[in-house]
Structure 1
Amino acid sequence: MKDNYKRSAGTKNSKGKRGQNQKLSRKSIIKRVLILTVLIGLIFLVLGSMLFAYYVSQAPAFSEEKLRDPVPAQIYDRNDELVTTVYQGQRRESVDIEDVPDHVVDAVLAVEDNRFYEHGAIDFWRLGSAVLSNIFDGFGSEGASTITQQVVKRTFLTDDKSIERKAQEAYLAYRLEQEYSKDEILEMYLNKIYYSDGIYGIRTASQYYFDKELDELNLAEAAYLAGLPQLPNRYNLYVEDNRGVDRAQIVLRLMHEHERISSEEYEEAQNHDLYAGLVERSDEERASTEPENPEFASYINFIKNEISAHDSFRNVDISELMASGIEIYTNMDAGIQRNLQNLTDNRDYYYNPKFQSDDFDIASTILDTQTGELVAISGGRDYQEVVDHNQALVPRNVGSTMKPFLAYGPAIEELEWRTDQTIEDEYEYSPEGIDHISIYNYDMQDHGQVTIREALSRSYNIPAVKAYEIVKDEAGGDAPREFAEEIGFDYNAIGEGDYEVSFNDVLGGRDSAFTPLQMAEAYSALGNNGEYNSAHAVRHVVTNNGDTVEFEHESEQVMEDYTAYMLTDILKDTFEPYGSADYIYMDGLNIAAKTGTTSYSRELREEQNLPDNAAKDAWIVGYTPEYTMSVWTGFTATEEGGETSFVGTDEHITPQWFFRDIMQSISTYNGQDFEQPDSVIRLSNGELAVQGSEDFEEYEESGSSGGTGSGGSDGSNGDNGDGGSSNTWNWSWGDGGDDESDSNDGDGGSSGQNGGQQDETIEETPVTGDPSTGGEVNEEPVEEEPAEDESGNGGTEQEENTTEDAETVPDDSPPEETDGATDEAPESEPTEEADDDAA
């Protein structure tokens, strides 16, 4: 019993001890967790401090000079030479804080930082409130940056949302508050902030918008200026909406809520009409001050677009970035850029008064053919970035310049056609499945069996449409569209994305509207063995804190090298006799090109009493192994009688003279030619075939005895007497007008639906003299002897080429924008017009 008692007692004591141990164990665990938590916190604090210290060590140098004024961007050319400095908002009137009236200060503080004079560099109370708002109301619903933080961010940093930038911002803000008073910091802010239209500083903005000094501003005007910097371009009162007014109302409400104005003042200011005191300004007057080098404005505009699209700068206001002291290294050839813009602006270059008028404009792009580097660009005559659209980036109907990409390119790519592949031309032709529409060639002639070399270089309409239809039938209905999209012409972006390419698009009408930049990109791929490069201007950017941001670009093989080379070989004939630009002498250059024009709808021609041969746009796109250049010319207004239209031979060829003079001035004349790839073989008749293709094998089996029975590329009439191409005109430059909506392009061909007008026709005789420099166009009639073809068939009699005698020659009415083609023969025959144009 005793032993049992002891064991029992021992057991009891053991249980008590275990309970005590269990109790101590729980306390120990909690204690250990707390200690571990503290340790982890300390570790994170140490690591965070070290990371913060590292970020701070990488912060930009603290510069008083940068704090006081915006630092202009510097632009460097392809040789790393400084070519221009971009002063964003040179109009700048600084103001001392003592001269800023109270109601202006109250407006700024109410909307930007109401507790500015109460907190330090960072407003932790506002920061906490912003965190809660972002949690419950959505990210970005409220910001917490103080005026001090905004000053250092605009001066030294970017809008990057990274932890590194936030750490540097906090550090620099602290330093700023240590070295400057609150009044000095507010003064920096008011003089540094951007107010749209190239304006920096609140005093300058007051004078610009209201023609007042700051102490003359009423409460509503002060509220407007205080709220404008958040989104300056959107809240600009010169923009046609009420966003600026709405923004001013928000600022007034905040002033009232923060008790900076009374209820009576609030109500009175709410009812004030801001537009009543707004200075009236035209778009030209709104332009930023004249740049030091206006010839670079178009290139700078492209630079800004490219930088804004880069991942590193997507969330950055480009105007502020350009005032942050960045250095931009580009692909610009400064000499070519100056030459291009100066010739564009030189009205005396054009002998015809209508091309000297404000209604005429010209835009162009020059690329490095091999790399796609943007060498030069002109956005229009007297281009000003703030008020003008960059015309090189504005889509236009491209006319016959689209034929290589929807007709002959796909035919060579998919069907491996030879360059002497023949197509039967006709006087008129109705596209497959569209019996009520007829297409005509620019000269209203049937040329019989023609090679694709002749058809493309002379810009005949009917063979182009037939080639397009054959490709669809044999290679698939989407083949032409897919070929064009590979080279940058995205038809899927049109409408709802279900756009169907038609014969009208082949001729550059309907919705085949692309920019001069896109046209240069596409044609440069032809000169680069089918390798496509998107145009790019920027090589790299050095930010104000010394970081280098690279701009990388990749090439893409978008077609077979044989397709590119064979098209190029054909397009060289554009400058040969009977080619669509054979009046342009390009001696010493291996160059290929395509011309094009677009015309007006029948309704507009009738409404404005326009000549049938009036065109509204004229194009040429051409390339050497060195450079690719696109040129668009057109009018910004339509006046009666064709006063703002291209009418007649000497007017249609306007872009060709410009193209010739620029290309001849910038080329090195080093003898470089396009390199024939191994996939292409030149036949004994001088034509090209795809190595190993069925057509090539047939050619070899036939004994290489000569062609496919088509007209020769010299316009003679073929080599086998089977009705090859017979040119009725001594010089036929086959580009008539093209329709902008539903009509065919009209390298002269006529297009009208249900009996409408035919497409613009274009015929010309040789030009002696240079219209671009005041030379006279030879309007003497050419010989009227019938031209004989080699087959013995007499050619059609040559018509006079004088526009004044249009009634004696065929009517060359341009293609229609809406009616498509005509099912009736034209009432008269085409007049002599510049061939350049339907293309």
Structure 2
Amino acid sequence: MKDNYKRSTGSKGDRTKRGNKEKLSRKSIIKRVVIFTVLIGLVFLVLGSMLFAYYASTAPAFSEEKLRDPVPAQIYDRNDELVTTVYQGQKREQVDIEDVPDHVIDAVLAIEDNRFYEHGAIDFWRLGGAVVSNVFDGFGSEGGSTITQQVVKRVFLTEETTIKRKAQEAYLAYRLEQEYSKDEILEMYLNKIYYSDGIYGIKTASLYYFDKELDELNLVESAYLAGLPQLPNRYNLYVEDNRGYDRAHIVLRMMNEHERITPEQYEEAQNQDLYANLVDRSDDERASTEPEDPEYAAYINFIKNEISQHPGFENSDISELMASGIQIYTNMDADVQRNLQDLTDNREYYYNPKFQEDAFDIASTILDTQSGGLVAISGGRDYQEVVDHNQALVERNVGSTMKPFLSYGPAIEELEWRTDQTIEDEQQYSPEGYDNVSIANYDMQNHGRVPIREALSRSYNVPAIKAFETVQDEAGESVPEEFSAATGLDYSGKSDGDYNVNFNDVLGGEQSTFTPLQMAEAYSVLGNNGEYNEASAVRHVVTNDGDTVEFETESDQVIEDYTAYMLTDMLKDTFEPYGSADYIQMDGLNIAAKTGTTSYTRETREEYGIPDNAAKDAWIVGYTPEYTMSVWTGFTETEEGGETSFVGTDEHITPQWFFRDIMQTISSYNGQDFEQPESVVRLDNGELAVRGSEELEDYESQNNTSNGSDNGSDNGSDDSGGWNWYWNSDDSESNEAPEESYNEAEEETPVTGDESEAPEENATEEPVQETEPAENSGGGEEAAEEPQNGTEETQTETEENPPEEPAESEDGNDGTEEAEDDAA
């Protein structure tokens, strides 16, 4: 055993040699790891260099012209013709670096690039610190860009944070430093930087905010201007918060820390009043980014919104992008756009003095019915982008224009109703679940059994509510809301997502608030065989480096083609006798439309002494196979006695004249009509049915009997927009309307009854510049009378002779030059 042990362990010399070999082996492994790591690093360095070289080779062309002067955006129309050139902001005041005082330069360098004169194109020391900060504090917590990098980024590149863009930025920054001195680069920066309100360049900003030359600025003013460009719209002193003030004091602190000012100067600057010399400017007086051609302003505003939302430009500042020389190819018809805005602005076009006042406004949208292309848009009278909201993008209660989407459309879609489906009308009707609320038609009449064609074109309320309830009962409670959402009129976000559509929404109240643009999109679905297109202004953009960014759109079949066609066929009758737009003639056009108005709450009427038949908003939305147009008209102030209201039929129909004159001007009159799909059958009585439906079988089994319009409704009933009123059906003492109920002027009815049972409603959103709070909508187009039924608040509409065709104005426009009756 002992011998075996000695043989197994070996001699001492053997053990020593074996240990040395193990040590050499470990050293060899470490050496190999180091060599391998170095080789891998070299490989990555070579690959990185090659990738950098490739990205640098694809960088935009280095242009001295772009470095020196901004390049305005160019707007092209649907025919690729140059329409206008957009010069961003006010005229720029250029400054030479020699004329910039030291304390202004110190403020800029302290906050932007303190070692600017010491490093090259890239500050590797600062970059390393930024990398560490981003690792520990999160990506984006600190930037490492030098002033040189910021110049090339603003001139040649976008805001995207990709490796490619960073490589191009580094390359172009290196080139810039090779060809220009530090002073020249700093001068470029100071003349190109953006200062909000359309202001570019620090000299222009100094004059704009403080009415001072640069050498007149005190320290806190210099600090403010130095810090403003980081987030110009947020730090703008004309925005009501203290962010700009706080930013200025951050810059002062950095100047002190970098010893660019003394502690005594720092303390003195902290006590200076930043607002003491701030120029007092109202919204109207703030600098405008308007194009030289103001008739395109609303369209350009929409262009900017669309480009900002495109994935290819999501990290770009739109103001800088519009000053980078991009070319924007649009769907605009320049002639239509000019005509639309000119007629909107022409106050002499409107016959009634109240429509010539500043409190009256009008907004509209025109789409290509088939493609959804934005042909033209008006953001309001004398629209200015910086000062005004684009009224075509402001939500408002839409009145009876919702009836096709919440009542009759879902009924045709889900229940396959024929266009001669009849509904029992009533003089008073209480919606399901609202026993103490009654609804009436605008004329306070019971029309018997009415076909839905007549009910829709004359805009009766009771049949619309009953159709809505029938769909909910037979197809599902959510079906009307889902149908509406499919066409772009979505309620899912209303009341923070906690809202259920109810009967009052059918009449355009409650949360039926949508924009003129959305209404045009929805109605174009009906004219496009049930296909939805989101409105699109931009076809493609050519960037300053020659890249083309496409703006693709998709069409979605959102409702059945038979639903779209049958609704369209019924809505054509809107212009027939007793239709809600029968005052205007659209001869020669195959056109369908729906009107709508909204009224005031009882409380507002009583507070301001507003007539009961007054309305605050009036709509018409219509379409041909070529164009879809929505028109909103309304008032931005509430005054005594209805001075800023639509009172009487001739005033309620104001948007109809506007609609007629524009549509008749732009249409080609090519005889094009809406194409009847295979899914629709035209009956012997001229009505329509869904092919293969039970309703069609019923009709055929009755051997082509009449359409069942056993209603005696050919009674000359007026849907000029008459008033519809809600009231208590019992004799209770309280006749108060629900606090926020809406009624449709020409078609709806104000609601009264038990407030706990009537649906509560939110106020219509009004533009920012309005002086009065938004009112609730309802309806009313004509003078109302006290009904003889014993109720306190019941009102009925009196029909007056329809106004005559407006006289032709001297400039050739068929304006609403009709004589006003005494009531108006």
Trace 1:427-438 onto structure 2 (pairs within 5 A). 427-438=427-438
- In the other structure, the counterpart of 1:314 is 314
Question: 1:95-149 CA deviation, whole Å, 9 max, x = no partner?
Answer: 0111111111111111111111111111111111111111222222211111110
AA matched with 2:550: E
- In the other structure, the counterpart of 2:720 is 733
Shift in Å, 1:778: 6.9
Contact preservation (8 Å) 2:527, 2:624: yes
2: CA distance, partners of 1:8 / 1:204: 93
Shift in Å, 1:14: 5.7
- In the other structure, the counterpart of 1:723 is 711
1: CA distance, partners of 2:361 / 2:464: 30
Trace 1:53-452 onto structure 2 (pairs within 5 A). 53-288=53-288, 290-452=290-452
- In the other structure, the counterpart of 2:785 is none
AA matched with 1:111: I
2: CA distance, partners of 1:229 / 1:737: 55
Aligned length: 768
The correspondence for 2:804, drawn from 752, 757, 768, is 768
2: CA distance, partners of 1:395 / 1:8: 95
2: CA distance, partners of 1:54 / 1:129: 27
Structure 1 residues 631 and 736 mapped into 2: Cα distance closer, same or farther (>3 Å)?
farther
- In the other structure, the counterpart of 1:686 is 686
- Mean CA deviation greater in 384-393 or 23-32: 23-32
Shift in Å, 1:761: 4.8
AA matched with 1:692: G
Unaligned runs of 5+ in 1: 711-721, 780-801, 805-832, 834-839
- In the other structure, the counterpart of 1:790 is none
Question: 1:245-278 CA deviation, whole Å, 9 max, x = no partner?
Answer: 1111111111111111222222222222222211
Structure 1 residues 628 and 558 mapped into 2: Cα distance closer, same or farther (>3 Å)?
same
- In the other structure, the counterpart of 1:512 is 512
Structure 1 residues 760 and 12 mapped into 2: Cα distance closer, same or farther (>3 Å)?
farther
1: CA distance, partners of 2:175 / 2:41: 27
Shift in Å, 1:167: 0.3
Residue 496 of structure 1 aligns to a residue whose secondary structure is helix
Structure 1 residues 628 and 31 mapped into 2: Cα distance closer, same or farther (>3 Å)?
same
Question: 1:685-733 CA deviation, whole Å, 9 max, x = no partner?
Answer: 00000111111001001101221x21xxxxxxxxxxx43314344x543
1: CA distance, partners of 2:333 / 2:220: 49
- In the other structure, the counterpart of 1:798 is none
Question: 1:283-316 CA deviation, whole Å, 9 max, x = no partner?
Answer: 1221416521111110110011111111121121
1: CA distance, partners of 2:467 / 2:711: 19
AA matched with 2:696: F
Residue 622 of structure 2 aligns to a residue whose secondary structure is strand
Contact preservation (8 Å) 1:440, 1:758: no
Residue 751 of structure 1 aligns to a residue whose secondary structure is coil
Contact preservation (8 Å) 2:530, 2:558: yes
2: CA distance, partners of 1:301 / 1:736: 37
Contact preservation (8 Å) 2:540, 2:551: yes
2: CA distance, partners of 1:737 / 1:107: 66
Contact preservation (8 Å) 2:504, 2:741: yes
Contact preservation (8 Å) 1:148, 1:177: yes
Residue 480 of structure 2 aligns to a residue whose secondary structure is helix
Contact preservation (8 Å) 2:202, 2:225: yes
1: CA distance, partners of 2:336 / 2:498: 41
Shift in Å, 1:413: 0.6
- In the other structure, the counterpart of 1:529 is 529
2: CA distance, partners of 1:115 / 1:734: 71
- In the other structure, the counterpart of 1:495 is 495
Question: 1:744-783 CA deviation, whole Å, 9 max, x = no partner?
Answer: 435344323137755895845333221784565478xxxx
- In the other structure, the counterpart of 2:475 is 475
Contact preservation (8 Å) 1:751, 1:757: no
Shift in Å, 1:434: 0.8
1: CA distance, partners of 2:156 / 2:209: 29
Contact preservation (8 Å) 1:486, 1:558: yes
CA-based RMSD of the aligned residues comes to 2.2
Contact preservation (8 Å) 2:400, 2:594: yes
1: CA distance, partners of 2:421 / 2:491: 28
2: CA distance, partners of 1:520 / 1:736: 25
Question: 1:536-569 CA deviation, whole Å, 9 max, x = no partner?
Answer: 1111111112221111111111111110000000
TM-score, scaled relative to structure 2: 0.90
Residue 233 of structure 1 aligns to a residue whose secondary structure is helix
2: CA distance, partners of 1:758 / 1:395: 30
Structure 1 residues 738 and 176 mapped into 2: Cα distance closer, same or farther (>3 Å)?
farther
Structure 1 residues 749 and 290 mapped into 2: Cα distance closer, same or farther (>3 Å)?
closer
Question: 1:77-101 CA deviation, whole Å, 9 max, x = no partner?
Answer: 1111111111112420000111111
Structure 1 residues 677 and 221 mapped into 2: Cα distance closer, same or farther (>3 Å)?
same
Trace 1:827-838 onto structure 2 (pairs within 5 A). none
- In the other structure, the counterpart of 1:753 is 752
Contact preservation (8 Å) 1:615, 1:647: yes
1: CA distance, partners of 2:330 / 2:403: 33
AA matched with 2:310: H
Shift in Å, 1:10: 9.2
1: CA distance, partners of 2:722 / 2:587: 22
AA matched with 1:23: K
Trace 1:596-615 onto structure 2 (pairs within 5 A). 596-615=596-615
AA matched with 1:531: E
TM-score, scaled relative to structure 1: 0.88
Question: 1:460-491 CA deviation, whole Å, 9 max, x = no partner?
Answer: 11110111011111111111111111111221
Contact preservation (8 Å) 1:748, 1:762: no
Trace 1:753-832 onto structure 2 (pairs within 5 A). 753-754=752-753, 757=793, 761=797, 763-770=799-806, 773=814, 777=818, 804=823
Structure 1 residues 601 and 41 mapped into 2: Cα distance closer, same or farther (>3 Å)?
same
- In the other structure, the counterpart of 2:590 is 590
Structure 1 residues 535 and 749 mapped into 2: Cα distance closer, same or farther (>3 Å)?
closer
- Mean CA deviation greater in 132-141 or 44-53: 132-141
1: CA distance, partners of 2:644 / 2:54: 65
Residue 275 of structure 1 aligns to a residue whose secondary structure is coil
1: CA distance, partners of 2:364 / 2:319: 25
Contact preservation (8 Å) 1:460, 1:735: no
Contact preservation (8 Å) 1:738, 1:747: no
Structure 1 residues 775 and 356 mapped into 2: Cα distance closer, same or farther (>3 Å)?
closer
- In the other structure, the counterpart of 2:652 is 652
Residue 751 of structure 2 aligns to a residue whose secondary structure is strand
- In the other structure, the counterpart of 1:807 is none
Shift in Å, 1:25: 2.5
Structure 1 residues 233 and 11 mapped into 2: Cα distance closer, same or farther (>3 Å)?
same
- In the other structure, the counterpart of 1:552 is 552
Shift in Å, 1:13: 6.0
Structure 1 residues 519 and 96 mapped into 2: Cα distance closer, same or farther (>3 Å)?
same
Contact preservation (8 Å) 1:440, 1:759: no
Structure 1 residues 735 and 490 mapped into 2: Cα distance closer, same or farther (>3 Å)?
farther
Residue 409 of structure 2 aligns to a residue whose secondary structure is helix
Contact preservation (8 Å) 2:525, 2:533: yes
